[in-house]
Structure 1
């Protein structure tokens, strides 16, 4: 049994279910954007793709954390 995800990853199952795209696809969308600031990306996901604030924020936070490694 895998551990319960914490932080931004805890949103991933509901993001995939609600918006019909795998998280890996969202990561690619975020990385393809010319925007670089966290809240700019959040606003863009909300406006362009209709994501809720919490879901957009979780995706951007996860991408930025992964890219910082």
Structure 2
């Protein structure tokens, strides 16, 4: 049985890992350890401090914050 293609922010994950050389779990930990909490603050921080492109940073932040929201539910 074929695996369904990732949708939404997760669809960016393979290219993020390939381009930046870190696993997604490591990026999520970096985001969670940041003192910032707002979506665009985190996106801009990843772009400035880690050299990520806007789409990749946005996907990582969206997915990480969504996980945190689900865990808090």
> Smaller-chain TM-score range?
over 0.9
SS of 1:2's equivalent?
coil
TM-score normalized by the length of structure 1: 0.99
Q: CA RMSD in A?
A: 0.4
TM-score normalized by the length of structure 2: 0.93
Which portions of structure 1, spanning 4 or more consecutive aligned residues, are displaced by more than 6 angstroms? none
Q: CA deviation at 1:58?
A: 0.1
Which residue is 1:29 aligned to? 30
Gaps of 5+ in 2: none
SS of 1:45's equivalent?
helix
SS of 1:29's equivalent?
helix
Gaps of 5+ in 1: none
Larger-Rg structure? 2
